[in-house]
Amino acid sequence: MSHAQIIIPFGLPPAEHARDLVQTLTSRCPQRGLATLLSRHFNKSRQHIDDFSPALPHELWLRQHHRPSEFNYQWSRLNYPKQAEQGCWFIVNPVHLHIAQNHLVLSDHRQLALPESESRQLFDAALPLCQEAGVQLIYGDAHTWFLRADEWADFITSTPDAACGHNIEIWSVKGRKELAWRKLQNEIQMQWYIHPLKEQREARGDKAVNGLWIWGNSTMSSYTPATHENRKQAASSGSTAGTAGELINKPGILVLDQLSTAALAGDWANWLNMMTELENNWFVPLRSALKNRKLSLLSLHLSNSNTLLSTTIRPVSLCQFWRSPTLSHLA
C-alpha cells in the first residue's frame, strides 16, 4: 500500500485570525486541492495540547510515530557516524534573545542570519568554556550544535518552536543540575558579548547572537545510525522539501515547514503566500495522484501552537460528491 503522510507545521491558523485567513485563502485557491482533501476524508481527528507543552502538536506526533528523538534525527541529517562512547546528548542552537519588559523572549532561529564562518567563530569561543565545565561540544552546522553532558540526563527541555515568542523562564531547562547549565550559558553569553563579531553584526543591522537554546536530549545507546533512507528523509524535510512527484513515486513521511517562519512572526500575508504555493505545488498534485490511484492513501497533519488536525484520504473518498470542498476545516 502506497501511503504518503505529510506534516504541515502551522498549517492551522490561530483562532483569532482563522475566519479572515480561510476566506482569503479560499479565493486564492480556485482548484480547491486542500479543500477537497480536507472535506472528502474517511477519517479525521483533532487533538489539543496544553498551552505550556514543551513541544508543539506536530513535534509530539513525529516523536510518537516517526522519530523518537530529535537529537537522533538531527545527528542523522548531518551524516554523523555513531560514536564509540555512550552518554546523554543535547541539541544546542545559537539564538537571539530580546528583552520584553522584565523578561527575555526567544526569537525564531530561522530568522537569525548566521553564516557558517560566523557560527564557527562563536563555536570556537564557546568550546573552551564547555571543556572547562566538563561537557563535550560538537559542531553540526551553522544553526545546530551537539552537546554531551551525562550528568544532565534528567533535564526536561522544550523545543525552540514551542518556546519561540515566549518568556524563556517558562520553557527553560528543568532538572537537578539546571544551575550548572545556566552558569555555562551565562559564561558563553558574556564571551560572545565581548567578541568582535557582535559589533560586526550590529554594524550590518543583523540580530545579535546572544544565547544558546538546549533541547532534544537523548542517549547514544538509543541512537540509530543514518541509513540511506534516513538521509533521504532528512534531506527532504523542511523548506527545501523536494516535489510532490518525488513523494508520489516513493511515499513516506514528509515535513513541509514553509509556514513556520511566517506564523511564528505573525506575518499572515506571507503565510497566505506560502499556503498558496503549497496548494499549487503539493495539494493539487496529491489530489490528482489519489484520483489516478498513484497513491492508495494520503494522510495530512496540520497544526498550530496547540492543535493538530489529522485527516486521511483514499481514492474512493474523492467520490463523496455530497461533501462540498471547503477550507472551513482549518478554522
- Neighbour-count burial of 221, counting CB atoms closer than 10 A to its CB (0-12 exposed, 13-18 middle, 19+ buried): exposed
**What pLDDT is stored for residue 83 in this prediction?**
56
**What pLDDT is stored for residue 212 in this prediction?**
96
> For residue range 223-270, what is the model confidence (pLDDT) as tens digits?
444 333 333 343 333 333 578 988 888 888 999 999 999 999 999 999
* Global pTM value: 0.86
**What pLDDT is stored for residue 85 in this prediction?**
60
Nearest CA to 130 out of 163, 104, 168, 92 is that of 92
Task: Provide the H-helix boundaries in the chain.
Answer: 15-28, 33-39, 57-65, 70-77, 116-132, 160-163, 168-171, 178-193, 196-204, 228-236, 244-249, 260-265, 268-278, 284-291
**What pLDDT is stored for residue 269 in this prediction?**
97
Q: Say if CB 166 and CB 160 are below 8 A apart.
A: no
**What pLDDT is stored for residue 102 in this prediction?**
83
Residues of the chain with pLDDT under 70: 1, 67-68, 81-85, 219-241
Integer Cα distance of 141 and 83 in angstroms = 18
Contacts (Cβ under 8 Å, ≥6 apart) of 186: none
Contacts (Cβ under 8 Å, ≥6 apart) of 291: 315, 318
What is the Cα Rg of the chain in Å? 21
